[in-house]
Structure 1
Amino acid sequence: MTDSILKPTRRALLRGAAATGAGVIAAPLVLREARAQAPFNWKRFSGQSIDVLLVKNPRSELMQAAEKEFTELTGIKVSSEQVPEQQQRQKAVIEFASGKPSFDVSGISLHVQKRMAAKGKWFENLDPYIKDASLTAPDFDFADFGAGPVAYARQADGSLDTVPFFVDYWIVYYNKELFDAKGVAYPKSMDEMFTVAQKLHDPAKGIAGFVSRGLKNANVPVWTSLMLGQGSETTSPDGKLLTDTPEAIWAGELYKKLNKETGPVGSVGFNWNECQTTFMQGRAAMWLDGVGFATPLEDPSKSRIVGKVGYGITPPGPKAHHAGMFADGMGISRGSSKKEAAWLYVQFMTNKKNQIAMLKAGAGAPGRSSAYLDTETIQQSKFGKQYFDCLLGSAKIARAGLPQIVPVTEFRDVFGVGLTNMIGGADVASELKKATETFAPVLAKSEQG
């Protein structure tokens, strides 16, 4: 703006001052406020209270432990609730559908509810918050989040409605003591996983060669992770189901053998927590599941196998070598009346310090890249070099472990029943064919909507 333009404006203001008296005093104040955006201030929303819905897991334990520091920093009180995974997902669906959820912030499994959240407009688009210097701390450094996790979190329209704070790679936890006792080496292939499990299976001593999820719905990622060894996912890029192909049947047969012939009694009712308990009590030689469940395994107050846990990259299959990838995000409810305070919570819980704390605790793989460069934390960690090598190696071969479709829960329900039936002895090909025929119209209808 040139001075020739400014002068008449100033003269006009002065003339206005003479006519209106004190009324002009507000004008320069308004101009100054408009020109200078308020600086970031953690205490800006002090006195507010927010409610947070979390999934019960080691990462949520860390978040709740950090709430006191957050409240001291911001003056914002937090009321958070940890709910078991399946119930948390159901609660989220019901409350978001009401349009007035009881929580301001919620965790979400991107591999299950990402597209559902977009369709139902559950969360705020976080891009404007991240770009607003008055709402986002200068050291938040969103660019530090890995490109892969961010791409996984972005919706089809490009919006980012959750911060991808956790990436879960599926690995094989194994009991080194049991392996060494029988002189058995870590399996070099998925097929060898079964032969190794057979050698270590010892029901007389209460030891299973292998344990994984058998509970319907929860068990599907085990099967899909095995399918990745055939270089195949459960849907094609154009949305066609690949769930009764030779590759899917092979993975189903392996799932059946591992759980039926080398699994513990009652495994049809096992979710990850039952598997975790069995493994850390020394009653299973191998456990295929997410890397995020490591925390209690090295806790002397909970585990009998501290210092004996091996962390192995999922072995290659006949055609490919991949580790199943899953992820969690955290977003702000669109129905919240305290969105700005909720955003402070989200950015604090996903900051560099807390992401490193997650890695240090063995609670999973952070979405931030800088966490993996913190050599001091890694050296001091109780998990040892093998854990971090496994995590980094898995990241290099990661591939989505579930189809990115709206009815993921229905997918898991339908195929989960079939997998449970397989453990009971049912024919794999027949179960997969039946499940595919049952689910096909559900998928077709969701794509139309």
Structure 2
Amino acid sequence: MTRAITRRTALAAGAGLIAAPPIVRQANAQSQFDWKRFAGERIEVSLTANPRSTILIQNQREFEDMTGIRVGAEQIPEQQHRQKFAIEFASGRASFDVVGISLHVNKRQVGRARWCTDIKALMADASITSPDFDFADFGAGAVAYSTQSDGRMDTLPEFTDYFILYYNKELLAAKNIAPPATFDEMYESARRLNDSSRQIYGNVGRGLRNANVVLYSSFLLGTQQRDFLDEQRRLISDTPDAIWAGEFYKKLLRDCSPPGVSGFNWNECQTTFMQGRAAFWLDGVGFAAPLEDRTRSRIAGKVGYAVVPRGPANHHCAMFGTGFGIAETSRKKGAAWYYLQWASGKANQLRYLTSGAGSPARTSPYRNEEAISQSRFSREFFSTLVESARISRPGLPEIVPVTEFRDTIGAALTSTIGGADVATELKKATEAFRPVLEASERAA
């Protein structure tokens, strides 16, 4: 069964995809591999609702025709999907063979419980791995993200999400302002661009508890600290660097963003920016498609793209990632592995890039000059992704209680937008979450 997709998800997938390179349907004569080996089987695939899942479902017939494997695919909103697969895995009766995993949230949880199959053995089996699979094409950072600390690779990389800076070219040009190179420049420019009489603001960003931590971490990555944990995996979210990042977060959202921003998640930010009511928006690369949709966006063709500005000590952008796992309890691992090869294959990865659905885990799409030249996205968009890959670092700590972490730290950050003292709030949040983390680490 293929679930209905939301209107927002369909929009984000974008129209006018660039033609992907043809999939090789016949293996080399010397290979034992056969795409039809598991013909007649049916697998269930559980995905998070997003533009990339929409692309896979829209092109699913391609896989079914090539392999003879039938696919029952569903895509579920992010929070519900995480809850669903965790409950099913824990019960020992997962309803799916393939599952999409947000590594920045669930990597350590999935790895500790050994819910997903180590795919290294599958990759090493020439009888079930296409000669055209080309594992070396995956970026080193994406592979590292999909690999557990014990060396098991229990997901295949799908997508690497970098935070980038979207900016409204028209608003900046009107005041002769260049895209900011540093966070300080970003704040000063945002203040200059504020025009509340016209309901135009210098910035928009996530203020909602939990969702806001990934924006805050973008600022923390610019400091000497660059992480939430020390070398002993102890929480350090109330240090001078952490407080600096919190102060910057507070003043950018409090001084330069729309009223009510403390309740904004990415969707409210996207709507505000799409309406031409904000000059800057720091968020994930996957939102480019709706911004450039001329049927929905007032600023299509006027969107600028830049890497995250430099911080006081370092220049990094927050990185997040997803991968596909095969349920350890699945009785159809062969067919599921075929799906993974197709889903993270070069054709779909190129579709992700040229549609604006996000930054693929493979490197080959960035070298496809023909497809890039035909894309509706500017050269600036693609160069921003390449440069972001060079400066990226994980935007969240790899811990099991990451949702509780985001809730606790996020509540503190939201309070600061309302005027609360940053140092006080971060200290209280750190003290509240530290025993939760310590208990989790002891259970490892």
Summarize deviations over 1:58-80 as a string: whole Å, max 9, x none.
Answer: 11111111111111111222222
- Deviation at residue 265 of structure 1 after TM alignment: 2.4
Match of 1:343 among 323, 337, 340: 337
SS at match of 2:238: coil
Please give the alpha-carbon distance, in whole angstroms, between the structure 2 residues aligned to 1:296 and 1:246: 38
Paired AA for residue 235 in structure 1: L
Match of 1:123 among 116, 138, 161: 116
Please give the alpha-carbon distance, in whole angstroms, between the structure 1 residues aligned to 2:162 and 2:435: 31
Match of 2:147 among 131, 154, 179: 154
Aligned to 1:435: 429
Summarize deviations over 1:295-317 as a string: whole Å, max 9, x none.
Answer: 21112122221110100110101
Summarize deviations over 1:370-395 as a string: whole Å, max 9, x none.
Answer: 12111111211111111111111111
Check 1:140–1:289 CA distance in 2 against 1; reply closer, same or farther (3 A cut). Answer: same
Match of 1:106 among 93, 99, 103: 99
Instruction: Report the more deviating stretch, 168-177 or 45-54.
Output: 45-54
Aligned to 1:201: 194
Match of 1:274 among 268, 274, 281: 268
Q: Is the 8 A contact 2:210 2:403 kept in 1?
A: yes
- Deviation at residue 440 of structure 1 after TM alignment: 0.5
1:385 corresponds to 2:379: yes
- Deviation at residue 141 of structure 1 after TM alignment: 1.0
Q: Is the 8 A contact 2:31 2:131 kept in 1?
A: no
Q: Is the 8 A contact 1:58 1:293 kept in 2?
A: no
In the comparison of the two structures, how many residue pairs are matched? Answer: 414
Q: Is the 8 A contact 1:169 1:391 kept in 2?
A: yes
Summarize deviations over 1:399-426 as a string: whole Å, max 9, x none.
Answer: 1111112221111111111111111221
- Deviation at residue 37 of structure 1 after TM alignment: 11
Please give the alpha-carbon distance, in whole angstroms, between the structure 2 residues aligned to 1:206 and 1:46: 58
Summarize deviations over 1:145-195 as a string: whole Å, max 9, x none.
Answer: 111211121001111110111111111101101111122111121122111
Q: Which runs of structure 1 show a deviation greater than 3 angstroms over 4 or more consecutive aligned residues?
A: none
Please give the alpha-carbon distance, in whole angstroms, between the structure 2 residues aligned to 1:269 and 1:52: 33
Please give the alpha-carbon distance, in whole angstroms, between the structure 2 residues aligned to 1:121 and 1:114: 10
Q: Is the 8 A contact 2:408 2:433 kept in 1?
A: yes
CA RMSD across the alignment = 1.6
Q: Is the 8 A contact 1:103 1:333 kept in 2?
A: yes
Q: Is the 8 A contact 2:203 2:279 kept in 1?
A: yes
1:189 corresponds to 2:186: no
Please give the alpha-carbon distance, in whole angstroms, between the structure 1 residues aligned to 2:351 and 2:308: 25
- Over the matched positions of the two proteins, sequence identity in percent amounts to 57
Please give the alpha-carbon distance, in whole angstroms, between the structure 2 residues aligned to 1:55 and 1:267: 26
TM-score normalized with structure 2 length: 0.90
Aligned to 1:44: 37
Paired AA for residue 373 in structure 1: R
Please give the alpha-carbon distance, in whole angstroms, between the structure 2 residues aligned to 1:92 and 1:271: 23
Paired AA for residue 416 in structure 2: M
Q: Is the 8 A contact 2:193 2:279 kept in 1?
A: yes
Check 1:62–1:416 CA distance in 2 against 1; reply closer, same or farther (3 A cut). Answer: same
Paired AA for residue 73 in structure 2: S
Match of 2:223 among 203, 218, 230: 230
Please give the alpha-carbon distance, in whole angstroms, between the structure 1 residues aligned to 2:197 and 2:53: 38
Summarize deviations over 1:347-379 as a string: whole Å, max 9, x none.
Answer: 101011111111111112111111211111121
- Deviation at residue 276 of structure 1 after TM alignment: 1.5
Please give the alpha-carbon distance, in whole angstroms, between the structure 2 residues aligned to 1:174 and 1:37: 52
Larger Rg: 1
Please give the alpha-carbon distance, in whole angstroms, between the structure 2 residues aligned to 1:309 and 1:118: 39
Please give the alpha-carbon distance, in whole angstroms, between the structure 2 residues aligned to 1:335 and 1:304: 48
SS at match of 2:297: coil
Please give the alpha-carbon distance, in whole angstroms, between the structure 1 residues aligned to 2:270 and 2:69: 35
Which structure shows the higher helix fraction? 1
Aligned to 2:392: 398
Instruction: Report the more deviating stretch, 45-54 or 365-374.
Output: 45-54
Please give the alpha-carbon distance, in whole angstroms, between the structure 2 residues aligned to 1:154 and 1:174: 35
Q: Is the 8 A contact 2:163 2:282 kept in 1?
A: yes
Match of 1:179 among 160, 172, 177: 172
Q: Is the 8 A contact 1:213 1:267 kept in 2?
A: yes
SS at match of 1:124: coil
Task: Map residues 24-423 of structure 1 onto 2, 5 A cutoff.
Answer: 39-232=32-225, 233-423=227-417
Please give the alpha-carbon distance, in whole angstroms, between the structure 1 residues aligned to 2:265 and 2:220: 20
Q: Is the 8 A contact 1:231 1:319 kept in 2?
A: yes
Please give the alpha-carbon distance, in whole angstroms, between the structure 2 residues aligned to 1:266 and 1:80: 37
TM-score normalized with structure 1 length: 0.89
